[in-house]
Amino acid sequence: MRTRLALLLLVGLLAAGCRTTETAPAEAAPVPTTPAAQPPGVTRGEFMIEAEKLDTWNAVGQIAVRTPGVEYQGRAQMLDLYSLRYRGVEFLVFTKAVPASETITRLTTRVTATTLAGKPIDHDATADLLGLLRRELPAEIESVRARQAAEKKSKAKKGKR
């Protein structure tokens, strides 16, 4: 357990220097994009989705906790990660905002996985789980947004009483 926490801390320190800001306007429904050919050293199955990083992170957690065979071991919102075990393989799933560019003009999030040491991972279990996330994220993000809107509305009603 100490080793896992030390690794998470190390990954956190590395990720802390990679901060991006999200300034693009809010978008409609998330639209997954197809991944480009992966250079060596990139996790097989990683992808990008047009959605806010926080919405994506929340939706990944919802999918992970209800997927049979996925063991939820921990999470760190500040680091945009979940620590999971699937089919005996331990890994980290990250949801990182993609900086705006000439080709990326909407809020986009990269969903990827690494080893516990923060290195790209090429394992069938990880690729399968990333494939599942790619398929289920658009609908789950909409569900998360709807739940958050309902909670906000409920709080507003309570505040008026």
DSSP characters over 45-102: T-EEEES-HHHHHHHHHHHHHHSTTEEEEEEEGGGTEEEEEETTEEEEEEEEEPPP-S
pLDDT at 16 > cutoff 70? no
Helices (H) and strands (E) in the chain, counts: 3, 6
Tokens of residue 125, six digits: 């279990």
Bridge partners for 93 per DSSP: 82, 113
What does the mean pLDDT of the chain come to?
Answer: 82
pLDDT at 40 > cutoff 90? no
Residue 131 neighbours by CB under 8 Å, 6+ apart: 45
Domain ranges of the chain: 2-160
pLDDT band at 157 (very low <50, low <70, confident <90, very high): confident
Angle of helix 53-66 relative to helix 124-160, nearest 10 degrees, comes to: 110
Per-residue pLDDT averaged across 52-77, rounded? 95
Q: What is the pTM of this model?
A: 0.71
Pick the CATH number of 2-160 from 1.20.120, 3.30.310, 3.40.190, 1.10.3470: 3.30.310
Tokens of residue 153, six digits: 């509305």
What Rg value do the Cα atoms of the chain yield, rounded? 16
Helices assigned H by DSSP within 19-123 = 53-66
pLDDT at 113 > cutoff 80? yes
CA 141 to chain centroid: 11
Tokens of residue 70, six digits: 């996925």
Per-residue pLDDT averaged across 86-95, rounded? 97
DSSP assignment, residue 149? Answer: H
pLDDT at 54 > cutoff 50? yes
